[in-house]
Amino acid sequence: MTTVPAESSTTDAFVRSEAAAFATVSRTGYFGEGATDSNSTGNPRIVLGEWYGQTPHAASLGSLGLSSVAVTAQLQNCAGRYAGKTVIVTGGGRGIGEGCIRVFFEASANVVIADRDEATGSALAAELNARGAPNAALFVATDVSVVAQLQRLVDEAVARFGRLDCVVDAGTRRTRRSTSSRSTTCRT
Amino acid sequence: MQLNFVSVFALCKFALPHLRKQRGNVINMSSLVGVFGQSKATSYAATKGATTAFTKALAIDEAVHGVRVNAVSPGNIWTPLWKVCVAHRPTTSPPGPTQPRASPPARCPAQAGADADADPTAAREAGQRVQVMGRMGTVLEAGRLCLCIAADLTFTTGVDHIISGGAEIGYGMK
């Protein structure tokens, strides 16, 4: 809820300003203690994205049948809630992991998309980074079943953003196997 | 087991040194299935049960370091996997009220959640009826729960958070 100062100068470049936070989709957001552009007195207050020239959202969740209106509604009140922090989401390229990535990005966090699928993961990172908040999304191709790649994932995230505040393990898979040995796999 | 649970264990191990510095938190994606099981999914249910138990045990050990560890147990969330099941339908408008049944029924390429694998429309409708809210959740709703845990629930650790639209309450047809 509060904006945490960067640890080192190398991190500063990746901590988005309050104005940059509202380059995202959320129409409203919360900024906590500490004086900011919209909060010169230091009193927590709700602020509106449009005050910062926020542009309408072009929904890319259309493939899931979520309209632009629904996406915008479901990203309400996220902006600023995790500003200056870094989160890793495994399975972040699609499904629930993608939802986490988008919400945390809306919350002004630096997001690390860890996914085995390079195409969807890098596309999501590119889409988020194109929203006027460069360097806020990082894609790391990761097969979570390979332990060494998880170590590399953490190392890359910390090297890039200088800190790590949250890990979301969404990179799992459901396997249902029928007695006829026809197996199907799906991600949950 | 390697993918679903060992990966969680290993990632926590590698991330914790950094999380302790920030007094951060971990959110492990579990599943309702880890609590009440699912047909033809014994190993999957086992990994999810393990994830929830691991979450609570780690929460105890990490409390002294200021790191919170929580789990999220989604019910039916409208994901690309679910979409595959109804890909043969001309239009999709999830999540929402039940749609008129389309024909012809196509074979569902992936059995996700519901058992009506021969009829994707029926599978989707069945998937929606599982929730008392009558629809599936969205990936963004799941994400918002994670943000809430990470950003706001600063006195919550070792908890398995259910996001299911009420799938687990009341009696179900067996």
**Any domain includes A183:** no
Integer Cα distance of B166 and B159 in angstroms: 18
Chain B residues close to A163, C-beta within 8 Å: 18, 21-22
Judged against a pLDDT cut of 60, whether residue B58 lies above it is answered with: yes
Our count of domains for chain A comes to 1
Higher pLDDT, B136 or B67: B67
Average pLDDT, stretch B71-78? 90
Q: Which CATH number covers residue A102? A: 3.40.50
Instruction: Write out pLDDT tens, residues B152-161.
Output: 999 999 999 9
Integer Cα distance of B104 and B16 in angstroms: 51
H helix intervals, A43-146:
68-74, 95-106, 118-129
Give me A154's structure tokens. Answer: 């953490």
Chain B residues close to A151, C-beta within 8 Å: 10, 14
Judged against a pLDDT cut of 60, whether residue B38 lies above it is answered with: yes
- The neighbour count for residue B36, using CB atoms within 10 Å, is 11
Closest CB to B4 among A70, A94, A173? A173
Integer Cα distance of A108 and A103 in angstroms: 9
Judged against a pLDDT cut of 80, whether residue B103 lies above it is answered with: no
Q: How many CB pairs under 8 A join A and B?
A: 198
**Any domain includes A72:** yes
Higher pLDDT, A187 or B6: B6
Integer Cα distance of A51 and A68 in angstroms: 20
pLDDT of residue A29: 53
Higher pLDDT, B142 or A68: B142
pLDDT of residue A19: 58
Tell me the pLDDT of chain A (188 aa) as tens digits.
444 444 434 444 445 555 555 555 554 555 544 455 555 655 544 444 444 444 333 334 656 777 777 788 888 888 888 888 999 999 998 888 999 999 999 888 999 999 988 988 999 999 888 886 655 899 999 988 888 999 999 999 999 999 999 999 998 765 444 333 333 333 33
Judged against a pLDDT cut of 70, whether residue B56 lies above it is answered with: yes
Judged against a pLDDT cut of 80, whether residue B142 lies above it is answered with: yes
Interface test with A, best of B48, B107, B144 (most A CBs within 10 A): B144
**What is the value of ipTM here, to two decimals?**
0.77
In terms of Cα–Cα distance, which of B25, B150, B69 is closest to A104? B150
Chain B residues close to A100, C-beta within 8 Å: 139, 142-143, 146-147
Average pLDDT, stretch B38-53? 86
Which residues, in sequence order, are bridge partners of residue B78? B138
Lowest-confidence range among A22-26, B21-25, B26-30? A22-26
pLDDT of residue B32: 86
Higher pLDDT, A53 or B15: B15
A38 lies in which domain range? 9-170
Average pLDDT, stretch B87-108? 40
Closest CB to A100 among B95, B110, B143? B143
A176 to B25: CB separation less than 8 angstroms, yes or no:
no
Domains of chain B by start residue, with CATH: 2-76+136-163 (3.40.50.720), 78-129 (no CATH)
Distance from CA of A33 to the nearest CA of B (A): 14
Distance from CA of B171 to the nearest CA of A (A): 24
**Any domain includes A175:** no
CA A23 vs. chain centroid, Å, equals 14
Closest CB to A172 among B4, B40, B141? B4
Token pair 């999914």 in the structure block, residue: B41
Answer yes or no: pTM beyond 0.80: no
Integer Cα distance of B23 and A176 in angstroms: 37
Judged against a pLDDT cut of 60, whether residue B162 lies above it is answered with: yes
Give me the active site residues of B, please.
44
In chain B the first and final C-alpha atoms are separated, in Å, by 28
Chain A residues close to B74, C-beta within 8 Å: 96, 188
**Any domain includes A179:** no
